[in-house]
Amino acid sequence: MSPPDIKDEGKSPKKLGRSLRAGFRQRLRNLRLGQGPAHRDRTAADLRASEARFRGVLAASPDAVIMISAAGVIEFASDRVTDIFGYAPDELVGGSIEVLIPERFRGEHSNQIKAYFRKPTSRMMGAGLLLSGRRKDTTEFPAEISISPIIVADRHAAIAAVRDVSSRRTLEALQQGAAEALRESEERLRYFIKYSPAAIAMLDNELRYIVYSDRWLVDYGLIGRDLRGLSHYEVFPEVPERWRAIHRRALAGETLHADEDSFTRSDGRLQWLRWEVRPWFDARGNIGGVAFLTEDITDRKRIEAQLAQAQKMEAIGQLTGGIAHDFNNLLTVVLGNAEVLKDEIKSDDLRKLVEPIIAAAERGASLTQLMLAYARRQALEPSTFELNEVVTHMNALLRRTIGENVEVELRLARPLWSVTADIRQTETAILNIVLNARDAMPQGGKLTIETANVDLSDDYAAHNLEVNPGQYVMMALSDTGSGIAPEMRERIFEPFFTTKPVGKGTGLGLSMVYGFVKQTGGHIQVYSEVGHGTCIKIYLPRAEAGTTTAVPSSQAPEPAATGAESILVVEDDPHVRMFAVQQLRRLGYRVTEAGDGPSALLEVSRSGAPDLLFTDVVMPGGMTGRELAERIGQSVPGIRVLFTSGYTENSIVHHGRLDAGVHLLQKPYRSDKLAQKVREVLDL
């Protein structure tokens, strides 16, 4: 079958349909006119030329052109059907169009052809739908089809242009996949940045936020804010010129970093950072902006400072404790012999010379005791009690001490947990803090003492060295005095450090408080602001359940009593030993002596076991006082033992507390303390 004559080439499928219809109409007119032979020859030649042009146009078209009747019979097929469907045109002409339709669509397609010819129009078929064609080898391909109506010999037909869009669909699928992959990659990047444990922010080249991590919001106090589109300098107006210069250098292509740097926030808070600022590049390789990667190391710097402070305090404590230990032996001799002289001298004038010696020795003994307290090397005698009872018991004394121009207010929580600590040391700690508060309020003010039950959390312990999380009883002593300057606050617990004028303080009061609290297993915290006052908070561990609660007593000790029992004094320092022997003999006791453990065992084997063993703890000769007591106790079960020591880091004190059943007289001691403690142990 020959195609109709057309004059237009390179037409679109729609225009091609119009050309075909015009060509058919012209051919029919020529046939009806019935011109002569010459004219018919010219017409045949023109027809062949037109057909050649028509086939040239169809050969250049990417579409297969097919003409079908209203019955769905193929009347014409261009050469392009071979490339698209795999059929030669002659194989299709005269056959049903259904051969080019996938089997699953054929029933519906027949109905569509009938519906089309009832109202034929030029249109794209299946607009918005995915149409398919069927090849000769039964494979299928995605297709686009445009169709136009035509009248041939007074009957309706249609011309369809079919295009195989497999390559285009593949490309579209690849493009869609690439776009989806890009979106997924961007989402993963945003997810990674958002939930990164580091503080990350990406900004454009005008330093406006594009994306940032949650950590960024946390570290810089921006939780709940949407930063997208905001300028970095809107968010941080306090950014100094030094950092603005860093941003400019990064936008110029530099990568900058620092392991430690400080930044003062608008609220005055000092923030320590480890940071890196680098440019980021777009797809064309141009700088698109900068990326910030920062780590807030403020807590780390604070902990490092706390550790350095703790190490310094520990070193000072070791030195202080060692000095106090040696001084205790010296002061025992000075104080003891001065008292003997005072008792023996009859002349009032000479007695007046001895009394300052005793007073100075007692002052020295008090200082060494404070030094031992700071060094956490005093022997505590803990009991279980309520802090409210201690504060109430001391209320009258505190009011007299602090003066009439200072108001005292008690805010005592009830019920309050019990604590286990040394009552005497607790009272001394309270008194020392109150004395400092008094000196900070020379013109008067207010002192508030508050108690409360508190839980120190794991998070609190993580930010404060030497704190064990758990339940504590808190006692806060707050004054409205002059306050403490920040540079002084870190040093107030150091021994011999004081802000008072020369001669007005030893610098050991707060040191003793610090050592006592730490030795008890507690925690101490200082809050102060110049011109507004100071608050010192003491946290003592809650007592274990079931312990018996003691009540502070203000009764004076019983007068010293004499005795006639036998006592073995074991002391390596000859001067201290001589003083102890003399005093005990003056009290009526029968006394023997030894300079070390082996000599003491020899004395026991020669004279028999004494009623009381009074022994130093640390001695030369390879045997401690504890070991000596155990050796004698093996042969004399139940023998009374009284230990003495100027240093508690030994075998009878553990974790700052005397072992159960152990009795200790700390050096330096006076005659009355010696008499009282000896009588107390003998009377058990």
Whether 33 shows a pLDDT value over 60: the answer reads: no
DSSP 4: P
Start-end of H helices in 380-454: 387-402, 423-440
**3-state SS assignment for residue 501:** coil
Q: Poorest-confidence range of 57-61, 209-213, 621-625?
A: 57-61
Q: Phi, psi (5° rounding) for residue 274? A: -110, 125
How crowded is residue 358: how many other Cβ atoms within 10 Å of its Cβ? 18
Q: Poorest-confidence range of 196-200, 426-430, 601-605?
A: 196-200
Task: Give the per-residue pLDDT at 427.
Answer: 84
What is d(CA 570, CA 254) in angstroms, rounded to the nearest whole number?
77
Task: Give the per-residue pLDDT at 502.
Answer: 45
Instruction: Label residue 656 left, alpha or beta by phi (over 0 means left) and psi (-120 to 50 means alpha).
Output: left
Average of per-residue pLDDT across 316-322? 63
Average of per-residue pLDDT across 99-124? 85
Task: Give the per-residue pLDDT at 651.
Answer: 46
Parallel/antiparallel/unpaired status of strands 419-421 and 445-456: unpaired
Parallel/antiparallel/unpaired status of strands 664-666 and 640-645: parallel
What is d(CA 482, CA 441) in angstroms, rounded to the nearest whole number?
7
What is d(CA 540, CA 543) in angstroms, rounded to the nearest whole number?
9
Task: Give the per-residue pLDDT at 416.
Answer: 92
Whether 209 shows a pLDDT value over 90: the answer reads: yes
Average of per-residue pLDDT across 79-106? 91
Q: What angle do CA 546, 513, 398 make, to 5 degrees?
A: 85
Confidence bin at 185 (pLDDT 50/70/90): low
Whether 53 shows a pLDDT value over 80: the answer reads: no
Average of per-residue pLDDT across 333-340? 77
CB–CB of 445/480 below 8 Å? yes
Most confident of 191-205, 314-328, 646-660: 191-205
Question: Residue 388 to residues 121, 397, 418, 554, 642: CA-CA distances in angstroms?
Answer: 102, 15, 9, 16, 33
Confidence bin at 458 (pLDDT 50/70/90): confident
Task: Give the per-residue pLDDT at 553.
Answer: 46
What is d(CA 523, CA 243) in angstroms, rounded to the nearest whole number?
40
Whether 673 shows a pLDDT value over 70: the answer reads: yes
Most confident of 32-41, 265-274, 290-299: 290-299
Task: Give the per-residue pLDDT at 46.
Answer: 66
Whether pTM > 0.85 for this model: the answer is no
Parallel/antiparallel/unpaired status of strands 640-645 and 612-616: parallel
Q: Poorest-confidence range of 42-46, 282-286, 389-393, 439-443?
A: 42-46
Average of per-residue pLDDT across 279-296? 88
Whether 3 shows a pLDDT value over 50: the answer reads: no
CB–CB of 650/624 below 8 Å? yes
pLDDT tens, 552-602? Answer: 444 444 555 788 899 999 988 888 888 889 889 988 999 999 999 999 999
Task: Give the per-residue pLDDT at 139.
Answer: 92
Q: E strands, 624-671, where?
A: 640-645, 653-654, 657-658, 664-666
Confidence bin at 488 (pLDDT 50/70/90): confident
pLDDT tens, 217-254? Answer: 888 888 888 998 999 999 888 888 888 999 999 999 99
